[in-house]
């Protein structure tokens, strides 16, 4: 992950991020589906990674005991904390933390993330998933919603390029050259093939329970479980 460029982008986006992110196809649907698949319980301790301005944490907070909401962008966390204060939400702990080092003081029942994991390189994804296995209680689960390729992007680079261009044309800055924005996105975002992600979870010891497309073929959800024994 190019941490500096990620931080610069999200710190600048933070004040208007909620208005921006709703334009991303599948964003709201993915949050709703993550909550459904997570099957949250009132006793659950939850870790929300890459929380941003807290949308997923706020959806889960009434249904669980506590949420540790972690992000590397201080500006995004500031916005999230302000929203929690205004809504009198007291069971969400917002703080600095990364995918591999979440800065969480206890084992958790559930790990969730929405539209953030793709910023990591494949090696970083593997290390993060291994760290999740350690922090989860036996029987704990992961529900990951993210950009992921539902086709072999290495064997079909033309299709990948076409999809990237379409995304930039829809969400990009009309004042900036299209080609420049495409190159910026490629440097910043690193979606994995869904089958690679499945392998990463299984190699870490998880049992993958479900894979589904939210927005074909570029966004989906993976649910995985740490065996009870």
User: Across all residues in the chain, what is the average pLDDT?
Assistant: 92
- The predicted structure's pLDDT at residue 110: 98
Which residues constitute the domain of residue 107? 3-152+189-225
Residue 24 lies in a domain: yes
Residue 159 lies in a domain: no
- For the ranges 49-63, 92-106, 177-191, the lowest mean pLDDT is seen at 177-191
Query: Residue 25, Cα to own-chain centre: how many angstroms?
Result: 15
Confidence of residue 1 (pLDDT cuts 50, 70, 90): low
Beta bridge partners of 153: none
Query: Residue 148, Cα to own-chain centre: how many angstroms?
Result: 11
- The predicted structure's pLDDT at residue 220: 94
Using DSSP, state whether 217 is helix, strand or coil: coil
- The predicted structure's pLDDT at residue 176: 83
State mean pLDDT over 35-47.
97
Kindly tell me if the per-residue pLDDT of 150 is higher than 80: yes
Residue 173 lies in a domain: no
Say if residues 50 and 89 touch (Cβ distance below 8 Å).
no
Neighbouring CB atoms inside 10 A of 35's CB total 17
**131-141 residue pLDDT tens:** 999 999 999 99
- The predicted structure's pLDDT at residue 7: 82
Residue 204 lies in a domain: yes
Up-side HSE of residue 213: CA atoms within 13 Å toward CB? 9
Say if residues 197 and 148 touch (Cβ distance below 8 Å).
yes
- Sign of the dihedral through C-alpha 176, 182, 184, 189: positive
State mean pLDDT over 126-151.
97
How far is Cα 222 from Cα 229, in angstroms, rounded to an integer?
22
- The predicted structure's pLDDT at residue 19: 85
How far is Cα 132 from Cα 47, in angstroms, rounded to an integer?
10
State mean pLDDT over 96-107.
95
In DSSP notation, 27-79 reads HHHHHHHHHHHH---TT-EEEEET-TTSHHHHHHGGGSSEEEEEES-HHHHHH
Residue 210 lies in a domain: yes
Predicted structure pTM score: 0.93
Kindly tell me if the per-residue pLDDT of 3 is higher than 80: no
Count of the separate structural domains present in the chain: 1
Residue 176 lies in a domain: no
Neighbouring CB atoms inside 10 A of 5's CB total 13
Residue 169 lies in a domain: no
Residue 163 lies in a domain: no
Kindly tell me if the per-residue pLDDT of 208 is higher than 80: yes
């Amino acid at each position: 992950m190019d941490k500096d460029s990620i931080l610069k982008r999200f710190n600048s986006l933070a004040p208007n991020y909620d208005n921006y992110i709703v334009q991303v196809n599948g964003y709201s649907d993915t949050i709703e589906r993550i909550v459904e698949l997570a099957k949250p319980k009132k006793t659950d301790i939850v870790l929300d990674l890459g929380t941003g301005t807290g949308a997923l944490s706020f959806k889960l907070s009434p249904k669980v005991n506590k949420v540790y909401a972690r992000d590397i962008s201080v500006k995004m966390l500031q916005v999230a904390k302000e929203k929690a204060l205004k809504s009198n939400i007291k069971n969400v702990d917002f703080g600095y933390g990364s995918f591999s080092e979440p800065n969480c003081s206890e084992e958790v029942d559930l790990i969730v993330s929405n539209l953030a994991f793709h910023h990591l390189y494949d090696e970083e994804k593997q290390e993060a998933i291994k760290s999740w296995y350690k922090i989860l209680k036996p029987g704990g689960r992961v529900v990951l919603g993210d950009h992921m390729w539902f086709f072999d992007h290495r064997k079909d680079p033309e299709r990948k390029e076409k999809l990237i261009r379409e995304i930039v044309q829809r969400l990009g800055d009309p004042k900036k050259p299209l080609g420049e924005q495409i190159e910026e996105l490629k440097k910043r975002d690193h979606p994995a093939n869904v089958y690679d992600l499945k392998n990463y979870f299984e190699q870490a010891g998880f049992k993958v329970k479900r894979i589904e497309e939210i927005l074909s073929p570029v966004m989906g959800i993976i649910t995985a479980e740490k065996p009870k024994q």
